[in-house]
A = this chain, B = another copy of it.
């Protein structure tokens, strides 16, 4: 590990934004470039090509996108392009983000049906299969990792069930807290759409909406009977743009965020310099270590099912009698920034640790030894016995 060029700062170990590498931050400070200069076209084109690798995608009928916006914008893309007004969407619920995705689908005239599980769990494959047989769903949406609960969904199995029971239904994955940390084999698992954001396991500052659409999804979009119900989120506007940039040709719809795209390329190069399998394994190791340590402290996780827990974050219930207002500032004083709860029904009862990106892959940083020690010391300070 070379000494970081970054000013000393508290360690941000939340489920995004994560810590960034020096190279990524330097790319954010790239001097001005025209968005249609050969230099930038090459950078954007390379970033799109590397995004394919991140998704194990080689099928060229699929198309990756990176546009200025929040991860949330990916929901608008799905709701306004892949679903026509009045059509049904099955929303698999594993926390806060499914409610929001359902809201978004409603805003564009789609009809979401939520299949819920108790907090901390995920709907069973059997329940999903039964629900799929009831109606003709245009899309099924799955939150791969629900950042509000840390529940991990089994997108491979869900996609297989959809293909078996309702083959024309599009499989849409919200991969905001999963892409870059959880395995996603886009082609092989026959997924139709994954949306994500850069500030999680992709290791790039927030400001991009990143997504990939399958050939099947693009065909569904192209054969819509009604017009697309958005403008900035319209695939009709963006598809020719990203196709042009990937072919290293200029195109214009809305000025791309030049510096953020430079940062995306810088991070993708770092991520793909080692096999993705090794990256996933490193995140599993860190996740197991964080989770077992937390359990050794006597604390329990919001995600309650074995095998259904995210590898990029851990949601931890507070001990009885300890509040977030007591605990988090003490951890913060020790230089570690963690996150409070997000799921409305239990928000005050738990905190969240993010373990993604360079904090995981550069073990010499010792970020989680520091974080776990800070948590332990702070718990002891508020009177909890470990």
Contacts and interface: CB of A to CB of B under 8 A. Distances in A.
B29 A230 contact: no
Contact of A257 (B16, B207, B258): B207
A305 interface: no
A342 B206 CA distance: 30
A2 interface: no
Given A18-B32, A339-B34, A231 B103 contact: yes
Contact of A70 (B206, B254, B339): B254
A142 interface: no
Contacts of A310: none
Contacts of A205: 32, 257-260
A73 interface: yes
Interface string A243-277: 00000000011111111100000000000000000
A335 to B, nearest CB: 13
Contact of A31 (B20, B69, B207): B20
Contact of A227 (B19, B107, B209, B230): B107
A270 to B, nearest CB: 15
A114 interface: no
Contact of A34 (B14, B35, B69, B73): B14
Nearest to A228: B107
A121 B334 CA distance: 62
Contacts of A223: none
A252 B69 contact: no
A120 interface: no
Interface stretch (A4-12, A49-57, A284-292, A295-303): A4-12
A199 B30 CA distance: 13
A25 interface: yes
Interface string A217-246: 000000000011111111000000000000
**Copies of this chain, tallied across the complex:** 2
Main SS at interface, chain A: loop
A374 interface: no
B16 A33 contact: no
A27 to B, nearest CB: 9
A164 B252 CA distance: 38
B107 A28 contact: no
A26 B259 CA distance: 12
A22 to B, nearest CB: 9
Contact of A108 (B18, B36, B231): B231
A59 B14 CA distance: 37
Contact of A73 (B232, B252, B337): B232
A255 B80 CA distance: 21
B32 A29 contact: no
A233 B79 CA distance: 13
Interface string A117-147: 0000000000000000000000000000000
A104 interface: yes
A224 to B, nearest CB: 13
B68 A254 contact: no
Contacts of A7: 31
Nearest to A204: B259
Nearest to A22: B29
A67 interface: yes
A255 B16 contact: yes
A206 B256 contact: yes
A166 interface: no
Given A12-B33, A206-B255, 6 more contacts: A18-B32, A32-B205, A72-B254, A75-B232, A107-B229, A230-B233
